[in-house]
Amino acid sequence: MARVAQVTSTPPGLTSERGCAITGWGSALPSTVVTNQQIMTLFDTSDEWIVERTGIHERRAADGPFVSPRPASSPPNGMGTTAQLAAQAGAQALAKAGLSGADIDMLVLCTTSPDQPIPATSSPVAEALGIKGGGMDLNAACAGFTYGLVVACGLVAVGAEKILLVGAETLTRLTNWSDRSNAFLFGDGAGAVVIEAVEGEGSLLGWDVGVDGSLQPLFFADYGGPGMSMRGQEVFRRAVRMTVDSATKSMERAKVSAADIALFVPHQANLRIMTAVAERLGLPEDRIASVIGHTGNTSSASIPIALAEAADSGRLAEGDTILLAGFGAGMTWASAVWRWEPGRPR
């Protein structure tokens, strides 16, 4: 039987009278739009087939066969790397929070597609934003942002005042564009939030994270390989079960029910997975924050992009209870129940 690492309660030493709240948010997408019709030029498929199975109509790309190479003599457009996307989303979040990079104690960059093995991609992001505190990368694949949310609140509990949490990906660099089974799934983008310390109980009401390393062969990408490899049907089956189980645990710990959840912000992997999870949790479809139709699967960037779009479109009100949940390669999973209170005094 697989040995599963899982945490569902606050570890000793992290209990604190200091909580955390989101005070700013932002997102960034590359300018190149890749439609399903363009994907159809690569292999035998159809727009109807892709939409029916995934809910994806288009995605944004920083790399791949539909992105024109930039001449060496021209300046970068600022949207072609994981670091550039992260910096743009981070700058928006900082501006919304009324802060500068110099105010940030720690940058946590969640990514499974860093720009290079060494150094961490958080390093050039910190430079671009003028961050004087620490910086680190966190790789929990598509569950990364929710992992990062738990880490950020842990840092606040032991003394940090302001955290910039970013999910950023350029998955098109890792896509096997000849693989008909999954090349149409992935897109690039970034989302970010500023997390600040508040007195008393914070916005994180309950959380759950886990990993089952025995499931690595279901979804992986090797160094020097052709790109990402995924056993889609098996991932689908396990993803629904894992996400429902994790979300249920977080809701139980937060002492809330489905009726209390104003908005469900899932990892944007596949619309059928998102709706299946919501149905099993007792959440109506109109409470799902969905951006997958125009972004595709952006891995650790998907939840913060969806969260930022929901906030900017007026779907969130002060005091709303939201549920974040997702899964990723590894296989990892993570969920959190969060009270939306960006106007809370700090």
pLDDT tens figures, 294-305: 999 999 999 999
Of the CATH numbers 3.40.50.300, 3.30.450.20, 3.20.20.70, 3.40.47.10, which one belongs to the domain with range 203-339? 3.40.47.10
Q: What percent of the chain has pLDDT over 90?
A: 85
Q: pLDDT tier at 236 (50, 70, 90 boundaries)?
A: confident
pLDDT of residue 11: 43
Catalytic residue status for 182: no
The residue-averaged pLDDT of 250-268 equals 98
Is 294 one of the catalytic residues?
no
Instruction: Given the residues 36, 110, 267, 270, select the one marked as catalytic.
Output: 267
Domain ranges of the chain: 21-67+80-199, 203-339
For the question of residue 270 being annotated catalytic, the response is: no
The confidence band for 235, taking pLDDT boundaries of 50, 70 and 90, is: confident
Selected catalytic residue, list 20, 110, 139, 142: 142
Q: What is the fold, at CATH topology level, of the domain defined by 21-67+80-199?
A: Peroxisomal Thiolase; Chain A, domain 1 (3.40.47)
Decide the pairing of beta strands 106-110 and 134-138: parallel
User: What is residue 71's predicted lDDT score, i.e. its pLDDT?
Assistant: 58
**Domain 203-339 in the same topology as domain 21-67+80-199:** yes
Mean pLDDT of 38-42: 96
- Count the neighbouring beta carbons within 10 Å of the beta carbon of residue 102: 11
- Give the list of residues 6+ apart from residue 10 with CB closer than 8 angstroms, or none: none
pLDDT in tens, 156-212: 999 999 999 999 999 999 999 999 999 999 999 999 999 999 999 999 999 999 999
Q: What is the band of 80 on the pLDDT scale with cuts at 50, 70, 90?
A: confident
Contact 19, 198 (CB under 8 A): yes
